[in-house]
Each structure stands twice: as structure tokens, then as C-alpha cells.
């Protein structure tokens, strides 16, 4: 457990939200903490009323008396610091895992002023599997007094998700820059060669132009995929919804990939209900889902004769779609990462590294899930589950 302390005035948040929003939220959160301190001095009925209101606050709020006993801890505070109970009447110092909070309380009491700190709290193994291995909290503590009663109130805001979003954006920009730099460098190299006059014959010139065209197309595909993923991530309006035939969407994807299919000569089997399988959703994105999954199977299995089966099953509650092939498979160490942006894996990948990220996000926006199972050298199976209305 580590903490980095600082004193007021607080610095405005940046990155995940605007300074104007942060400035607007900070006074409201402080007011909530002061309300909690006030509730500690109220009659029982009023205390319960304040407690009910403060349990709706997203920030963790803790009120201590001047001896360090817990007077009040709202619901958010208890959830943030699971599995450490914050029971009323219990000394905060009796919870060793929360020693950084005890420290900021002591600091605020000694200075008699508002104190702020950043805290990174490792999670127990039980919770680490579900969440990240550490949580990032912003803590603020300040004295309160009313008549002869005094104490300290503490407000806690969980910045973990905001930090993760900022890190994801940074990683995305870094990866995108790397992916675009490679083909740009190659194109630049060929341009310099052409300008130098070293290429004298037509055949060599054609080869140079072919390579430049190939890598320019790769850049265009990367940019198109980035824009698609950006639209999916920043989607503010609901997806368009129309009823369509899933088999028809798959057939359109296959038609789009005709040149690659003619080159690889796979054996493709479609297994759908007689009516083609009805599904409600955004047809545009479902066409992309199937195109990306089929293209991924063909690109990663360059041999001819790949057996690819696409099937659909409907139950009362869900639509189950599977895409399976008998190709080279995916190594176990790569499976947890294949849906991450720009992930190429330990095997040489032929795509942009964004196709499966687009697939996963588009399916999630339809309320569905996608799972992957693979046996290296034998098979790969993608399973899509989409809930049905009613």
C-alpha cells in the first residue's frame, strides 16, 4: 500500500473530464461531506434521514469524532474499501489496512486545515481477479466542529476507472503511431529511391509502385478501422435497430471477401434455420462483425482448403452464433488478449490488430458477448451470444 500526500489547495482534474466539470463537482462533494458531519450531530430521526441521503452519494464519506471513532460511513465508503468494515463506534485505527486514511485524518487534525492525498490501495487476491490489482483514490479530510463537538470528515473519490481510460487512450495513440509509422517509412524509402534515379528499368519501377500501393492501402485500412472503433467507443445515440436475416448478413460478408475466398479456396458451410435466422440490430455493424471474423480466419490460415463453419441457433432467450475453423489455432497465452487493440500475438498476424476489437465492441453494444476457444493446430471457435427481447 502506497500513498502520495499533498495539502490544499486541491489541483483540478484533467484528462478524463473537463476542468469545468471537475470544478462543479468538487464543491458538491465537499458539501456532501460537510452534510455528513452535520448528520453526526443530529437527533436519531434526522441522523437516519441524512444517512439515507448520503448513501446515494457516489463519493465515499466518513465522519470521525475527535477520538477517532467512526460516527458515520456511507454505503459508497464501505463498498470502496471492501472487505474492510467501517462500523460505527469502531476506531478507524483498528483497521490496519486503512492506515493511510488514519494518517490523513491525523494530518488534518494536527494542522486544523483541509488536507488532500492520492492513495493507491492494492486489492486482496479475492477481488484482484474481477478488478485491477490496485485502486486509485483521491482523499480529502477536513476538521468539523459544532459547539463542544469536534472531529474530522473524510471524502474519497475513486479515480481508478478514469486512470484506466487515460492509460487506454495513451496506449492507443502510441500503438496507432507505431502501426502507421511502419508503412509510412517504407513508402518514404521507396520515394527516396525513385527520386535518386537509381531505378532504370520498368520492371523495378512497377515493383516499387506495387509495394507503395500495398502499404498505402494498409494505412487506409488502419485508419478506417480506427475511425470505426472510435465511432463505437464514442457512440452517444442508440444503435439503429432493424430486423434482418443473419444468414443474409453472413452471405453479404462472404461476397465482400470474394477475392480472398477465391485465392484461399476454403470449404465454407452455413448452418442456419430455414428462415435464415431473424435478429434485430444495426445491420451495418453486423456485416462488419461477420466480415472481420471471416477475414481473420482466412488471413491467419494461408493454406488452401480451410474448413470454415458458420452456424446460428435460436432459443427462447438468445441467439447463438458460432464461427469455427480447423486451422492453425491460437496459442493459449494469446487468447486473453486477442480482443485488445493492436494486439498481434506471439504468432505473426496479417491484419491491422483492430478487427477483433471492433467485433467485440459492436457485439457488446447489442447487449451480447463473444467468447473464444482454440486448440493450437486443430481448431478455433468464436461463440456469439445475443439476448432476444421478451
196-212 residue pLDDT tens: 888 888 888 888 888 88
Residue 44 pLDDT class (50, 70, 90 cuts):
low
What is residue 371's predicted lDDT score, i.e. its pLDDT? 95
Percent of the chain with pLDDT over 90: 31
Report the chain's mean pLDDT, rounded to a whole number.
80
What is residue 334's predicted lDDT score, i.e. its pLDDT? 86
What is residue 133's predicted lDDT score, i.e. its pLDDT? 57
Average pLDDT over residues 250-264: 92
Which domains can be identified in the chain, with CATH numbers? Answer: 2-158 (3.30.450.20), 161-234 (1.10.287.130), 239-390 (3.30.565.10)
Cell of 232: 463505437
Give the Å distances, CA to CA, from 177 to 63, 173, 253, 357: 48, 6, 29, 17
Cβ-Cβ contacts under 8 Å for 197 (sequence gap 6 or more): none
Lowest-pLDDT range of 44-53, 292-301, 316-325, 330-339: 44-53
**Res 112 pLDDT > 60:** yes
Residue 368 pLDDT class (50, 70, 90 cuts):
very high
Lowest-pLDDT range of 126-140, 164-178, 228-242, 349-363: 126-140
The most confident of 15-19, 215-219, 347-351, by mean pLDDT: 215-219
Beta-carbon neighbour count of residue 302 at 10 Å? Answer: 12
Average pLDDT over residues 368-388: 94
Q: How far is CA 121 from the centre of its chain?
A: 21
- Distance, first Cα to last Cα, the chain: 47
**Res 244 pLDDT > 90:** yes
Cβ-contact 61, 155 below 8 angstroms: yes
What is residue 251's predicted lDDT score, i.e. its pLDDT? 96
Model's pTM, two decimal places? 0.56
**Res 190 pLDDT > 60:** yes
**Res 385 pLDDT > 90:** yes
Average pLDDT over residues 331-360: 76
Better pLDDT: 17 or 268: 268
**Res 267 pLDDT > 50:** yes
Average pLDDT over residues 244-270: 94
Average pLDDT over residues 78-83: 80
What is residue 222's predicted lDDT score, i.e. its pLDDT? 77
User: E strands of 75-187, at which residues?
Assistant: 115-122, 134-146, 149-158
Average pLDDT over residues 50-57: 78
What is residue 46's predicted lDDT score, i.e. its pLDDT? 56
Distance CA 344, CA 320 (A): 27
Residue 98 pLDDT class (50, 70, 90 cuts):
confident
Residue 11 pLDDT class (50, 70, 90 cuts):
very low
What is residue 113's predicted lDDT score, i.e. its pLDDT? 92
Cis, bond preceding 83 (omega within 30 deg of 0): yes
**Res 16 pLDDT > 70:** no
Strand partners, 137: 119, 158
Residue 237 pLDDT class (50, 70, 90 cuts):
low
**Res 171 pLDDT > 80:** no
Average pLDDT over residues 78-92: 82
Distance CA 30, CA 61 (A): 10
Better pLDDT: 66 or 14: 66
Better pLDDT: 29 or 15: 29
**Res 349 pLDDT > 60:** no
Question: Is residue 101 helix, strand or coil?
Answer: helix
Amino acid at each position: 500500500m502506497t500513498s502520495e500526500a499533498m495539502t490544499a489547495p486541491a489541483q483540478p482534474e484533467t484528462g478524463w473530464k473537463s476542468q469545468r466539470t471537475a470544478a462543479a463537482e468538487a464543491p458538491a462533494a465537499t458539501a456532501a461531506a460537510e452534510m455528513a458531519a452535520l448528520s453526526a450531530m443530529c437527533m436519531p430521526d434526522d441522523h437516519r434521514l441524512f444517512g439515507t441521503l448520503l448513501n446515494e452519494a457516489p463519493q465515499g464519506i466518513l465522519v470521525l469524532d475527535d477520538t477517532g471513532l467512526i460516527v458515520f460511513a456511507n454505503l459508497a465508503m464501505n463498498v470502496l474499501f471492501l472487505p474492510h468494515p467501517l462500523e460505527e463506534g469502531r476506531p478507524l485505527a483498528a483497521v490496519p489496512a486503512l492506515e493511510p486514511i488514519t494518517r490523513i485524518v491525523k494530518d488534518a487534525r494536527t494542522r486544523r486545515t483541509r488536507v488532500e492525498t492520492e492513495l493507491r490501495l492494492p486489492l486482496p487476491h479475492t477481488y484482484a481477479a474481477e478488478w485491477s490489482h490496485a485502486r486509485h483514490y483521491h482523499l480529502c479530510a477536513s476538521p468539523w466542529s459544532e459547539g463542544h463537538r469536534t472531529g474530522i470528515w473524510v471524502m474519497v473519490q475513486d479515480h481508478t476507472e478514469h486512470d484506466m481510460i487515460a492509460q487506454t487512450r495513451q496506449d492507443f495513440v502510441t500503438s496507432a503511431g507505431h502501426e502507421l509509422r511502419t508503412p509510412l517509412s517504407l513508402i518514404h524509402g521507396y520515394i527516396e529511391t525513385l527520386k535518386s534515379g537509381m531505378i532504370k528499368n520498368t520492371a523495378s519501377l512497377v515493383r516499387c509502385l506495387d509495394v507503395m500501393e500495398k502499404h498505402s492501402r494498409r494505412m487506409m485500412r488502419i485508419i478506417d478501422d480506427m475511425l470505426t472503433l472510435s465511432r463505437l467507443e464514442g457512440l452517444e445515440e442508440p444503435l439503429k435497430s432493424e430486423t434482418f436475416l443473419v444468414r443474409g448478413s453472413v452471405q453479404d460478408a462472404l461476397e465482400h471477401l470474394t477475392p480472398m475466398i477465391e485465392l484461399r479456396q476454403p470449404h465454407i458451410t452455413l448452418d442456419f434455420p430455414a428462415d435464415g435466422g431473424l435478429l434485430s440490430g444495426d445491420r451495418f455493424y453486423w456485416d462488419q462483425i461477420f466480415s472481420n471474423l471471416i477475414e481473420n480466419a482466412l488471413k491467419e490460415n494461408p493454406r488452401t482448403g480451410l474448413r470454415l463453419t458458420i452456424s446460428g441457433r435460436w432459443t427462447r432467450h438468445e441467439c447463438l452464433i458460432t464461427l469455427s475453423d480447423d486451422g492453425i489455432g491460437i496459442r493459449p497465452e494469446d487468447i486473453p488478449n486477442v480482443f485488445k487493440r493492436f494486439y498481434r500475438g506471439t504468432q505473426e498476424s496479417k491484419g491491422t490488430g483492430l478487427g477483433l476489437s471492433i467485433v467485440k465492441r459492436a457485439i457488446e453494444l447489442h447487449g451480447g458477448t463473444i467468447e473464444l476457444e482454440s486448440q493450437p493446430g486443430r481448431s478455433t471457435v468464436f461463440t456469439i451470444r445475443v439476448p432476444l427481447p421478451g
